[in-house]
Every structure is written in C-alpha cells, then in structure tokens.
Amino acid sequence: MKKILITGSAGFIGFHLTKSLLERGFAVVGIDNLNDYYDPQLKLDRLNALNEFVSANSLHQYYDFLKLDISDSDSLSDLFKKSEFSIVINLAAQAGVRYSLENPKAYVNSNLVGFSNIIECARHANIEHFMFASSSSVYGMNIKQPFSVSDNTDFPVSLYAATKKSNEMIAHSYSHLFNMPCTGLRFFTVYGPFGRPDMAYYSFAKAIINGSPINVFNRGKMERDFTYIDDIITGIISLLDKPPCPKSNEITAASAPFNLFNIGNNNPISLTRFIEALESSLGKKARKVMLPMQPGDVFSTYADISEIQEMFGFSPSTPIEEGIEKFIIWLKSTL
C-alpha cells in the first residue's frame, strides 16, 4: 500500500484530498501548522470530520495527522526518517493575494523556506512523485486568454504569485538536477463545502444571510474560472500514479521529469453571475457596494486545460449553480 504525505492537510483542498485518498484505500499522513490566517476552528472542524470518517470506516491504520510546520526543517526531517512515503503532495502555503500586502514575511517563511524544506526532504527520500500546488495568480495581468502553461509568467502582480512562480522554478531545478519526478498544479479559484472563509463566495454568502453589504470590486466586471472542489480532487488523483518522464521542450535543452498543468473549469464566470447563483441558492438578494479594482487583483482568470485533458482525460463537470448550491447546503448546516 502506497503511503502519501499531504502537507496542508487541514486546509480546504488538503481536507478533501485526504478524504478521497482514504476512500480509495491509500495510507495517508497529513501535516498542517493550523495557523490563524483564518479562524483555526474551521481547520479543526475539517480534522474532526476526517476523524469521524476514519472511525466510521475502520481506517485507523491508514491515517495519521501531525501538527507540523514545513518551515521547521528539523521536525520535517524527523518525519521523513520515521516514515517511508511513496508520494508527497505539497498543499501547505500561506494563501491569499491581499494578505501578502500586510504580512510578506509569512509568505517567505511558508511558501519559500517551507517549500525548499519539503522538496529537499522528498529528494533525500527518493520518492516516486512530488506534486505541489501552484496558482493561477502566476499569470498576473497577462492579456492573452485563456491562460496556457506555455505562457510567460515573469510578471507577477503580488508577492503570493511571485512565491508560487518561485516554487515552480525550484521544483524544475530539482527535477533536472536529481531526476526527481515533479508535477505542479496551477489551481483556478477553488470553491465548495469546507472552503476558505477569506474567499469571496464564502464571505459573500455569510453577508447575504446576515443582510450585510458586500464589496463588489471592479463593479462586478470581473471573471473567475471557478472550479468546484470535487473536480479539483479528480484532477489531482488522476495524476498520482503518473509521474512525468524526463523530457525537454522547444524552449530549453534541459531535460527533466517535470510537468505543469492548469486545473480549472475552462469556463470563466462573471462576478455578477456568481453573485446571482448565491442569491438564488439563498433565496435572498445581496446588498452590493460597487468599488474599483483592488491593487494586486486581476480582471480575469481563464484556464486552458487542453494538456491535462489530452494526457489524462481531465474534464471538470460541475456548473457554478450546482456547486454553489452544494456549498450553501453545507454552510447552512454550520450556522
């Protein structure tokens, strides 16, 4: 049985991925620092939900969780000495574009120092496949749409985006130097149950329920490639046992077992339609405050997913209205 390490396992994507892998019979070790970027109780709720699932399905021997920060290199090294992992999936990161304006050090510690620690441990452990979360934010304010992995991403407009681009470059260098199979995943606006409360769909829903106003930036003239969490998890799992083979491309002669994919819905939704989906599911109109664009934000995200579609058959299938309805059902159950 393959043992998989998931960093950031108490996070939104980490929680859903851990549960799905356990359902499929994988052995999973999850680590998370349980930081307070948003209310840590939500992370504890996710962990409790995982523990309940494990208990209900008698999977105790397959799952373990440790509170551990990937910026702590000594503790991370100790973990790798005690466990033999086949696959490492790095989802741990300081998230958020706007927060990077307030606390840049948090991004350096987690997204740069922490990432360097985890990939170095994975290298020495000779794992089969190192997978890591990148972000659509690396595309910055690129004019060309949809965003393709072959596009230039040298112009980040936030520190968060810059750290994610750095992760991709570090992983490629490790892949080339040490023949280490690495796959980077550029996620596009992930949403769904147990989601992050700092994301617009979550804060908007709570505000509408409470009758509070919502700030609509760029006066609603923005588009996001909203991707439902189940589609994201399907994409990740489809790549687990398919580590890349060494290859070069038309740009460089440097051969590396390295892949980089967009994982998005390939169907950008306007902020206006998104708010309408929330209003429909909640049966209540939003009080909108129209505002200009914020610094570090981008007008549109739109994923070209042709590569992962052609290579692995990835095909997201959840319409925004259906996904929002599932999220609202979950949210109401927590109130």
pLDDT(276) > 80: yes
In the block, which residue shows the tokens 């209540």? Answer: 284
Identify the active-site residue in 99, 160, 174, 202: 160
pLDDT(101) > 80: no
Percent of the chain with pLDDT over 90: 79
Residue 117 confidence (pLDDT): 98
Q: Spell 155-193 as b/e; 16+ CB within 10 A means b.
A: ebbbbbbbbbbbbbebbbbbbbeeebbbbbbbbbbbbbb
pLDDT(296) > 70: no
Percent of the chain with pLDDT over 70: 99
**Confidence band of 57 (pLDDT split at 50, 70, 90):** confident
Structure tokens at 103: 């606390």
In the block, which residue shows the tokens 């580590």? Answer: 243
Distances (CA, A) of 117 to 81, 159, 276, 335: 14, 20, 43, 39
Lowest mean pLDDT among 109-123, 272-286, 296-310: 296-310
CA nearest neighbour of 245 among 76, 128, 126, 110: 128
Taking residues 143-163, what's their average pLDDT?
Answer: 92
Domain boundaries along the sequence of the chain = 3-196+227-266+302-317
Residues 128-147 have pLDDT tens digits of 999 999 999 999 888 898 99
**Is 63 among the catalytic positions?**
no
Residue 2 confidence (pLDDT): 86
Taking residues 245-254, what's their average pLDDT?
Answer: 76
List the alpha helices (DSSP H) in the chain.
Answer: 12-23, 40-56, 73-82, 104-107, 115-124, 159-178, 200-210, 229-239, 271-282, 306-312, 320-334
Taking residues 270-289, what's their average pLDDT?
Answer: 94
Taking residues 88-92, what's their average pLDDT?
Answer: 98
pLDDT(153) > 90: yes
CATH number of 3-196+227-266+302-317: 3.40.50.720
